[in-house]
Amino acid sequence: MPALDLLKTNSPECWFQSSASLLEAVVRSSEDAIITKNLKGIITSWNPGAERIFGYSEGEIIGSSILTLIPDDLRSEEDTILRKIQSGERIDHYETVRINKKGERLDVSVTISPLKDSSGKVIGASKVLRNVTERKNLERSVLQAEKIAATGKMAATIAHEINNPLESVLNLIYLAKTNASDPDQVVTFLNSAESELVRVSHIAKQTLGYYREHSAAISLALSELVRETLAIYEPKLTVSGIHIQTRFDCSAKITLRKGEMMQVISNLVTNAVHAMPSGGTITASVQEATDAGRPGLLMSIEDTGEGISPDSIESIFEPFFTTRNSIGTGIGLWVSKQFVVGHKGRIEVQSSVDPISHGTKMSIFLPFDNPYARELAKSDPL
Ligand SMILES: Nc1ncnc2c1ncn2[C@@H]1O[C@H](COP(=O)(O)OP(=O)(O)OP(=O)(O)O)[C@@H](O)[C@H]1O
Ligand SMILES: [Mg+2]
């Protein structure tokens, strides 16, 4: 009798039989791999979806260890999975790598649930596994293309900007050499050369992180990172008559490139300091938030400084836009934005030049699910 007809009968036995065969039909026709294993990690069932994804037939693989499908470098995952399953926990949609019969690595998304006997004792696990290699490859190439485009654009702009002061330095050295008989003139030329080089060095410092920090991201409490960065500036702030207030409503961890994010916080704090030459207050906050349905953390750095005029506000994230020609190069916010966008986050500004309630608030939203979190999850999946 077809499975659906069986469902129409009333007897509990028939119902049980019908739901069992219905379930079997679902398992057999699933595009996803559905695999069960016992607590020793031995495969006990294998559907056609698993055969399609991994290339092993049911007869070949049943009785083998699940480690057959796990690449050598990720084998420690299995112990963690088994420990979680034994304590009755479920693991939802975690992305990792498995290996097929040909030895090729596949990107997969796996959900693992404990299998229990009638007394509720855990006797094994069922895994539903989807091959996401194509999607991952696409994501990787888009990310790579974005990185190359961003790096190329940044390198071109910086090269252009560094070239001008370097040309002046060459000129000034030439002038110093040709006026060697006049020490006062030489000192004047060298002083000018020095200030040009200070500018070049500032640009290098602001952008260095971008190239240097290809190191893996880490999971950390953002509030701690803000605290740590503010502590670096504290002596300077105290001397400048700037008071710090913090509102850290959460200690949630998030995966970030620590160096990049420290650079972002430093840039915001430095801007706030420059906006308050006669002192004021910096308020730093971190809280949980959602942006377009994405959960994450919202960090803000607010000052009681002069504010940004409506004419400038549109341009502040553009490279080399500055109103502080003597002290700034105008790349702080541009670089910060690149870093935030690299984390799939958003940076926003609110500012007022009102004579009474002037000040600027920079807010940064960082989603928990960002490319670095995914990279980290891949190397340390559970
Ligand atoms: N907190 C702030 N208060 C007032 N103006 C600000 C603030 N932050 C940024 N700005 C404005 O935005 C401009 C661009 O800022 P950005 O940090 O990119 O460059 P900069 O501070 O001028 O130079 P750099 O950061 O390269 O040393 C600043 O010159 C200033 O006009
Ligand atoms: Mg700045």
Domain of residue 196, CATH code: 1.10.287
Question: Between residues 62 and 332, which one has the greater pLDDT?
Answer: 62
Mutate to test the pocket of ligand 1, among 162, 273, 322 (most ligand atoms within 8 A of CB): 322
Element (H, E) at 340: helix 332-342
Question: Domain residues for 361?
Answer: 216-382
- Among all bound ligands, the one having the nearest atom to the CA of 349 is 1
Q: Please tell me the distance between residue 268's alpha carbon and the centre of ligand 1 in angstroms.
A: 8
pLDDT at residue 379, as a whole number: 63
**If you average pLDDT over residues 360-377, what whole number do you get?**
89
Asked, for residue 17, whether it belongs to a domain, the answer is: no
pLDDT for res 378: 66
Q: Is the pTM of this model over 0.75?
A: no
Write the pLDDT tens digit of every residue in 231-284.
Answer: 878 888 998 999 999 999 888 999 998 888 888 998 999 999 999 999 999 999
Evaluate if residue 8 carries a pLDDT over 50: no
* pLDDT at residue 66, rounded to an integer: 93
Indicate the residue type of 209.
Answer: G
10 pLDDT tier (thresholds 50, 70, 90): low
> Are 308 and 353 a contacting pair, CB within 8 Å?
yes
**Distance of alpha carbon 295 from alpha carbon 284, whole angstroms:** 20
The CATH number of residue 316's host domain is: 3.30.565.10
Which residue puts its alpha carbon closest to atom 7 of ligand 1?
271
User: Helices 332-342 and 183-212 meet at what angle, rounded to 10?
Assistant: 10
Over residues 24-81, the pLDDT tens digits come to 888 888 889 999 999 899 999 999 999 999 999 999 999 999 999 999 988 888 888 8
What band does 287 get if pLDDT is binned at 50, 70 and 90?
very high
User: Is 16 within the bounds of a domain?
Assistant: no
Distance between CA 84 and CA 89 in Å, rounded?
5
Strand partners, 33: 129
225, 369: one domain: yes
- Which of 292, 295, 307 lies closest to 362 in space, CA to CA? 307
**Residue 276 domain-assigned?**
yes
E strand or H helix that includes residue 45: strand 43-46
| Count of the separate structural domains present in the chain | 3
- State percent of the chain over pLDDT 90: 52
- 7 — pLDDT class (breaks 50, 70, 90): very low
Q: Does residue 274 contact residue 324 with C-beta atoms inside 8 Å? A: yes
* pLDDT tier for residue 375 given thresholds of 50, 70 and 90: confident
Is 2 among the domain residues? no
Decide whether any atom of ligand 1 lies within 6 Å of the 324 Cβ: yes
Structure tokens at 85: 């399953």
Q: Is residue 25 part of a domain?
A: no
| pLDDT of 236 | 83
Alpha carbons 267 and 310: distance in angstroms, whole number? 21
Whether residue 18 is contained in a domain is answered as: no
Q: Bridge partners of 284?
A: 246, 301
Report the alpha-carbon distance of residue 128 to residue 115 in Å, rounded.
Answer: 13
Whole-angstrom CA distances from 232 to 72, 270, 285, 337 are 43, 11, 17, 22
Tell me, using a 6 A CB cutoff, whether residue 336 lines ligand 1. no
Residue that terminates a domain, selected from 131, 161, 187: 131
240, 351: one domain:
yes
Atom 31 in ligand 1: residue holding the nearest Cα: 323
Distance between Cα 246 and ligand 1 center (Å): 22
Q: Count the neighbouring beta carbons within 10 Å of the beta carbon of residue 312.
A: 14
User: Does the Cβ of 32 fall within 6 Å of ligand 1?
Assistant: no
Do 165 and 265 lie in a common domain?
Answer: no
Between CA 107 and CA 71 the distance in angstroms is 11
Look up the CATH number of the domain holding residue 50. 3.30.450.20
Instruction: For residues 375 and 267, state if they share a domain.
Output: yes
